[in-house]
Amino acid sequence: MHYKWKTGMWAFVMHRVTGLALTVYLIMHINVVSSLHDPGSFNKTMAFLGQPLFRVLELGLLAAVIYHGLNGVRVFLIDFCNRTKNHAAIFWILAATGSVIFIVGAYPLLHHAGIF
């Protein structure tokens, strides 16, 4: 079977990928938080999570949350508001909106890391 890799198919695949990534993140987050029993372990964990790699991963998390949420809005509009003719237009409008939200959201993360 041959699929047409147009905007809707990419949006579908990325929605599944970001959903899986957010699920993995949530499981890891709950595991880390539940392992913090005293101030010493908290400080050690926070020092480890303050490394540059985790700053980059925070930006990836922000991007995944924004994409997954806005694509959910797109799916809602298509399914419940009968907007089946405007798949690509809705996708690109929400992609532009998501880009603005990402820039606004990334600034505090980068500022806290000392980049800005």
CB 28 within 8 A of CB 48: no
CATH of 7-112, one of 1.10.10.1800, 1.10.620.20, 1.20.1300.10, 3.30.70.20: 1.20.1300.10
Can you give the residue ranges of every domain in the chain? 7-112
pLDDT tens digits, one per residue of 37-64: 888 888 888 888 888 888 889 999 999 9
Question: How far is residue 96's CA from residue 98's CA, in Å, rounded to a whole number?
Answer: 5
- Cα–Cα nearest to 106, from 63, 72, 43, 75: 63
pTM: 0.85
pLDDT tens digits, one per residue of 9-28: 899 999 999 999 999 999 99
pLDDT score for 17: 98
CB 61 within 8 A of CB 25: yes
| Average pLDDT score over the chain | 89
pLDDT tens digits, one per residue of 77-98: 888 887 677 788 889 999 999 9
